[in-house]
Every structure is written in structure tokens, then in C-alpha cells.
Amino acid sequence: MQILPLDAASWDLVNASIGHLAYFSVSVIVAAFAFMVGHAIIPSLQYTVTSFEFTNRFRPPLYALAAASLAVALWQLAVFVSMAVPLLQKLYPRFLY
């Protein structure tokens, strides 16, 4: 199969889709970090020798941040796929069939 060359508009689409892929990656990292802190680190602080009960109030906002970041990540993934599929169909004419 011969790969077709891309024109300037296609390269603009590549640039935009890579940006959405970067936003997706950052959103997943933020969601994982917020969930890890809220679900693992803060509860382990509560069982140490010194008392850290005040840290329990940070858990709901961290869960909300993780949920919001996950929602943004799923949206960015959907946008990336919707941009990448037409680009791949242009690059490889028989991509889906």
C-alpha cells in the first residue's frame, strides 16, 4: 500500500490532534495524582503516630479534581480520535476497510 503525501491542511490537523493528545496525557496524569493522594496518601497519614485527622477534609476536593480531570481526558481522547481517523483515512486510503 502506498502512503499518500499530506498537504498543508493535513499537517495543521496533525498539529491540532497532537495538541489534544497532549491535553489528554496531562489530564490523565492530574487525575491519577489527585486520586492517588486522596485515596492512598491521605488515609495512610491518618494512621501514623502523629495525628493528621485534619487532612481528611482534603479528600472530597481531590476526588472531584480526579473526576473532572478524567472527564476532560475522555473528552480530549474523543476529540483526538475524531481528528485522527479522517487523517489516517487520508494518509492510508484503505484504513477502515
Q: How far is CA 64 from CA 7, 11, 30, 58, 70, in A?
A: 42, 36, 12, 10, 10
Q: How far is CA 12 from CA 40, 62, 65, in A?
A: 42, 36, 32
CA–CA distance, 80 with 69 (Å, rounded to integer): 16
The predicted structure's pLDDT at residue 55 = 82
CA nearest to 22, candidates 73, 65, 71: 73
The residues spanned by each domain of the chain are 9-89
Q: What is the CB-side half-sphere exposure of residue 51 using CA atoms within 13 A?
A: 2
Which pTM value belongs to this model? 0.82
**What residue spans of 5-58 are helical by DSSP H?**
8-36, 42-46
pLDDT digits (tens, 9 = 90+) for 28-83: 999 999 999 999 988 888 777 676 778 888 899 999 999 999 999 999 999 999 99
The predicted structure's pLDDT at residue 71 = 98
The predicted structure's pLDDT at residue 51 = 66
